[in-house]
A and B are shown apart, each in its own frame.
Chain A
Amino acid sequence: MTTKHEQPTVFELSSTGRAGFRFPQPDVPSAELDPALERSDLPMPELSELDVVRHFTLLSELNYAVDLGFYPLGSCTMKYNPKICERTARMPGFSQLHPAQPIETLQGALLLVYEMQDILQKVSGFTAGSLTPAAGAQGEFCGVKMIAAYHADRKNDRRKVMLIPDSAHGTNPASSVMSGFTVKPVPTDARGNIDLDGLRALCNEDLAGIMITNPNTLGLFDENIDQVTGLIHQAGGLVYGDGANMNALLGVVKPAELGFDVLHFNLHKTFATPHGGGGPGAGAVVCTDTLAPFLPGPLAAVLEPATEELPPLYGWKMPEKSIGRVGAFSGHFAVIVRAYTYCLMQGADGMRRIAEHAALNANYLMHALKNAYPLPYDRTCMHEFVLDAKWEDAPGVRALDVAKRLMDYKFHPPTNYFPLIVHEALMIEPTETESKQTLDAFIEAMLAIAREAHEQPELLHGAPFTTPFGRMDEVKAAKDLKLTA
């Protein structure tokens, strides 16, 4: 189904000979090109500047963004991104820098990176950190690589097994395999915690470590966490913390005190920098003293301490046994400026309020919805919760149908079919930035959809009806790829 909103592609809009740009006369001598590199045709779209402006402005009106409406995408922490963070990131003193400038001319930027490393250490309870990873999955990869480097440094080649709970993020096994580990899954118990008996059976001399997301992807705080980290440490393994869900713990719980050895932050989730289609992520890693020599670099460091006349000289430093660089230069600096601004704006009490309100909002939604939607793990949740959208008296209705129908109610659908241990999962994370009015409007829409599921299921199967395109054929989209014009 298409509607009046359907936009032709720039290729379809193209008109031979139309141009929006004219190259200036060269002011340097022209060079001879190898004829083998020349071609006579270049099928680029030909449009005027106005054609291009209208095309992309129209397309941008079809976007959905957190600036337009509620975005309860579980595990993604789609909170409001304060505009003041955009202002600071655009200050010329930050935006006009080049990372290869002499450090003497970068002292303000280096101080900011140094202080941000320190903020993340204070929030997590760790003593070292690196801001260089470019996104969450890369931060996670670094953390796992550091565990591999730690065992290799101790000449402990047997430790090749990484344990991963079955509720984990999908990137966890990928990071482990890329670091040379074999993955073994750990089961979840009936309350949604890591199954301790299942874990004990896996603790042996082959154990390298475990990757834990706490709160986990069910939005539940693991009640056995200290026993879990204790068992792993006794067996000689290390504990990696997936910090994707740090929004639930800010200012309340320090992962280092729970027995984690290394943790990544998603600055773009927890510290409100734009993500998804909105910009790059940043996946800082923090760790204990034991793992600090293995951190990816470079780190911002004090090269010369302050004197009576001069402030300290900041610069870059590679940790002693570093796993190396994971990108050019020193991470997504402009994202770090935004996250730093956000942290200073919140202060220590603000951090705690973020976690408290994120958990309050999630529990408010969960309690309002749990009589209309099955809730497989019925416990006080943290920042998110998972419904199982299937009803015996409404056969044929699936999580996908509920998600698509929400678009007709002008809400972004929640994450669906994740975590995998809940078959018709709808994973809902409201974040702390939504008002009670917004939450109530969402509850009303969800309750209306639950009624429709029983009374008019065709409305769910056909949804969405109000978007430029209707329901996509996902099977055809996955199998029948058309990658060329």
Chain B
Amino acid sequence: MDINPKFLYSKNDEWVEIDGKTAVIGITDYAQNALSDIVFVEISVSEGDELEASDLIGTVESVKAASDVYTPVSGRVTAANEAAVDKPEILNTDPFGIAWLVKLENEDGFDTSDLMDAAAYQAYCEQRE
């Protein structure tokens, strides 16, 4: 299982990469592996939407299950990844890279107090194995 050491993680297996006032959100390698082959991605938010932490941003569907994806942080949507919608399989091959789902912006910065760092997330995943 891959974990990106620089990202923060939610209990619902989303990752967030924070750079000052912008954040990128996606699903983790653990999540894509548990879902198996991903066949459909829907991003239900669009540019300009204001989101609170744990708001729904979309749905990821595999041959096994459909799973909702939530934003771990609050902010305004600045981009949604069309590539992930067009080619859902990239969530299996590169979940931490080209398969990001949405980008957010927040003038006040992001509250990350409920999120895990890489080490804590690793332990959280192992405990569920």
Contact = CB atoms under 8 A, between A and B. Distances in A.
Q: Bin chain B's interface residue count.
A: 10 to 19
Contacts of A417: 64-65
B34 interface: yes
Contacts of A420: 65, 67
Interface string B26-38: 0000000010010
Interface string B59-103: 001011101000000000000000000001100000000000000
Nearest to B37: A475
A478 interface: yes
Contacts of A474: 37, 63
Given A417-B64, A475-B63, A423 B39 contact: no
B7 interface: no
Contacts of B61: 478
A239 B89 CA distance: 40
A478 B37 CA distance: 10
Nearest to A390: B129
A482 interface: no
Interface in A419-436: 420, 423
A475 B61 CA distance: 11
Contacts, number: 19
B39 A479 contact: yes
A417 B40 CA distance: 17
A478 B34 contact: no
Nearest to B128: A423
Interface string B17-55: 000000000000000001001011000000000000000
A418 B65 CA distance: 8
Contacts of B67: 420
Contacts of A479: 39-40, 88
A423 B37 CA distance: 14
Contacts of A418: 65
B63 A478 contact: yes
B40 A478 contact: yes
Contacts of B34: 423
Interface in A394-442: 417-418, 420, 423
Contacts of A423: 34
Interface string A448-485: 00000000000000000000000000110011000000
Nearest to A187: B11
A341 to B, nearest CB: 38
Nearest to B92: A475
Nearest to B12: A185
Contacts of B39: 475, 478-479
A418 B67 CA distance: 13
A475 B35 CA distance: 12
Contacts of B63: 474-475, 478
Contacts of A475: 37, 39, 63, 89
A418 B63 CA distance: 12
Interface in A71-101: none
Contacts of B37: 474-475
Contacts of B40: 478-479
Interface centre among B63, B67, B88 (most CB of A within 10 A): B63
A283 to B, nearest CB: 23
B120 to A, nearest CB: 18
Nearest to A173: B68
Contacts of B88: 479
A371 B64 CA distance: 26
Contacts of A478: 39-40, 61, 63
Interface centre among A420, A474, A475 (most CB of B within 10 A): A475
Interface centre among B34, B37, B40, B64 (most CB of A within 10 A): B64
A424 to B, nearest CB: 9
A372 B34 CA distance: 22
Nearest to A420: B65
A423 B64 CA distance: 10
B99 to A, nearest CB: 16
Nearest to B66: A170
A176 to B, nearest CB: 13
B73 to A, nearest CB: 19
A322 B65 CA distance: 35
Instruction: Give the top 9 A-B pairs by smallest Cβ distance, nearest first.
Output: A478-B39, A474-B63, A417-B64, A475-B37, A479-B39, A420-B65, A423-B34, A475-B39, A478-B63
Given A418-B65, A475-B39, A478-B39, 16 more contacts: A417-B64, A417-B65, A420-B65, A420-B67, A423-B34, A474-B37, A474-B63, A475-B37, A475-B63, A475-B89, A478-B40, A478-B61, A478-B63, A479-B39, A479-B40, A479-B88
Interface of B: 34, 37, 39-40, 61, 63-65, 67, 88-89
19 contacts: A417-B64, A417-B65, A418-B65, A420-B65, A420-B67, A423-B34, A474-B37, A474-B63, A475-B37, A475-B39, A475-B63, A475-B89, A478-B39, A478-B40, A478-B61, A478-B63, A479-B39, A479-B40, A479-B88
